[in-house]
Every structure is written in structure tokens, then in C-alpha cells.
Amino acid sequence: MAAGEAPNGFFFMENTMLMLKTQGWMNLLRAGLVCGVASPLMASAALVVNPTNDVAQLTSALIAPGSGINLSGSSLVLGGATQQGTYSGFNLAPSSGSTPTLQMQDGVVLTSGGNASVPLSNTVNNYSTALVGGSGYAPLATLASNTTSDANVLRYNFTLAAGLNAVSMQFVFATDEFPTQSVTDIFGFFVDGVNYAKFPSGELISNTPGNPTNFILNPVGGGLYDIEWNGLTQVFTVTGLINSALSEHTLEIAIADTSDSIFDSAVYVSGLKGVTSTTGGGIGDPGTVPEPGSLALLGAAVLGLAASRQRRAK
Ligand SMILES: [Ca+2]
Ligand SMILES: [Ca+2]
Ligand SMILES: [Ca+2]
């Protein structure tokens, strides 16, 4: 092998894709988007990620006792050993400006990269950790109308406590595809096979360079947030309705690369619980959680109504 020759076709292909994908870097420089001035203020609590593929650990970090969700099955589909993990201390305050502090309760992070623990500063425009040969996921491919790879899916089978009709959680989607690349990467929140995760604009939760309002820009050198991701969504609540015709339900929290396998994306998720939705679910529908004891009162009211009807029937 001659000096400088690619050691194998795959390596060469990855580097070629990397070169193609980084051509937007100069445009970013020209646009002045990497000239932000860092402030020494607003240091945030350190984000700590513990990579694991232990489904029990992931589940206990995501679903609190009393959530109204009764699990009958749980699995991690496709995720590599360190591709996902639990996190704590998600409290990203901007160093300057008026963008929001992104704060989430402790939970789970799923990525399309090789390591769920990423640098706590923005080091490069094209953060990419090796995860060779990660499979795609058909529902995400269908959603994205694109090939997917390095998919990572947390899947649950469940029933809900009486009176609940939906599941809800908070999330932040973050990606180093934004804003320089046209490759989307994608996140889905599938309840009984239906994806409920879309931006308020109606676009899928994926890289949307054509609509920068979907993301908060965190440029390299800008020091805005102490994390690697170039683009982050605000903290969203997503709610998905169960299909009442089914006796048992499924939830898939899923992320994947699209088009190619490089340039990582991640989704931080927390506080999965059962709720009551009256608006059809989606982003920005927090649903409601019945007050403790109200389900019993509701049950009593229903029984009372039934008794009342029985009396009238006499
Ligand atoms: Ca990847
Ligand atoms: Ca980055
Ligand atoms: Ca990617």
C-alpha cells in the first residue's frame, strides 16, 4: 500500500463523505456565524452521561414510579454498547444573549454515534464518533423517506392506568448536521406505530437547514452552550395517543443517521409518563395528569352514574 493510500474502501468512502459534508464550513465563516464572543458568566451544572446498554438502567432513568405506565416489555433495539446512556445535570445556560436555558430532569440520551458522552464544549462542526455498520430502522426510514443507519431505538410494550389515553415526555434533539449539512438525521416518537414528534412548523424532528428557526445555533467558538452540538431544539414536550382499539400498546423512542452514517445526532429524553390528552397529541401538548385520588373519584362518579341509570331504568 502506497503512503497516503486509503487502507480500505470503507475508510476512503467515509473520508470522502466527510470532505463533501464539510464544504459548508466556509459558508458559515463567511456568514459570520462563528464569530460569537464568549462570556465567562453563566457556567452551568456539568452534564454527566453514563453510557450503557442496560435496558433496566435506561428505563428507570426515564420512567418514574407512579407514571401510570405499566410495562409488559422493554428492549433496546439496535443500539450499540455505548451509543446511549443515562444522564444527569442537563442545565445548559447561554453564555450570552437571549436564548433560553435548556434544562431537563435526569433521563436518557440516544445517539446515532459511537459514544453517548460528548464533549462539553463545541469542538468541531462535524462531530462524528465511529459506529461502523450500525443498522437502519424501517419506521424511521419511512418517516424520513431516506435510508437510515446507526439507529438506536428504545422500545416498550405497556398498558396505561385507567383514565389515561396518552404518553408524554420531554426532549431536546441536538445535531452536528445543523446548519451546514443537508443530511437530516431523524428522531421519532412512535405510539402504536404513529409518530407524534414534529416541530410546531409541522416539519419532522430532523436537521432543517432551510428553517433555522427550528434550532438554536450553538456555533463553534461561540461558546453559547457548553456542549458539542451545533444545533439544539428548545425543550419540547411530545405527547402521543394510544390506539384504544388495542389491548396492549407500543412506544418506540428512536433516532438514526440518514443518508450516511457520519455526523452525530442525539436526543435527550426525560419524564416519560401517562397523561390525558384532549387535543390529539403532538408537540406542545403536555396533556394532564390526574390529581392523586381523582381517578378513584372518577371511578366512583362513573359507578354512581351507572347506579343512577339503573335506578332510572326501573
Ligand atoms: Ca453515526
Ligand atoms: Ca459540534
Ligand atoms: Ca448523521
> What integer best gives the mean pLDDT of the chain?
83
- Under the banding of pLDDT at 50, 70 and 90, the label for residue 223 is confident
Distance of CA 206 to the CA centre of its chain: 10
Q: Report how far residue 29's alpha carbon sits from residue 278's, in angstroms, rounded to the nearest whole number.
A: 46
Which ligand does the CA of 232 lie closest to? Answer: 2
3-state SS, residue 13: helix
Give the angle 205-170-188 at the CA atoms, nearest 5°. Answer: 30
Neighbouring CB atoms inside 10 A of 7's CB total 8
Q: How far is the CA of 216 from the centre of ligand 3 (A)?
A: 18
230-284 pLDDT, tens digit per residue, is 999 999 999 999 999 999 999 999 999 999 999 999 999 999 999 999 999 999 8
Here the cell at position 97 is 444573549
Which ligand does the CA of 17 lie closest to? Answer: 3
Q: How far is the CA of 311 from the centre of ligand 1 (A)?
A: 65
Which ligand does the CA of 147 lie closest to? Answer: 3
66-108 pLDDT, tens digit per residue, is 999 999 999 999 888 999 999 999 999 999 999 999 999 999 9
Please give the share of the chain, as a percent, with pLDDT higher than 90: 71
Residue 44, pLDDT above cutoff 50: no
- Under the banding of pLDDT at 50, 70 and 90, the label for residue 291 is low
Here the cell at position 172 is 431536546
Here the cell at position 12 is 476512503
pLDDT-wise least confident of 61-70, 125-134, 183-192, 240-249: 125-134
Give the angle 13-15-21 at the CA atoms, nearest 5°. Answer: 105
Q: Please tell me the pTM assigned to this model.
A: 0.81
The terminus-to-terminus CA distance of the chain in angstroms comes to 94
Q: Report how far residue 129's alpha carbon sits from residue 112's, in angstroms, rounded to the nearest whole number.
A: 9
Bridge partner residues of 170 (DSSP): 237, 270
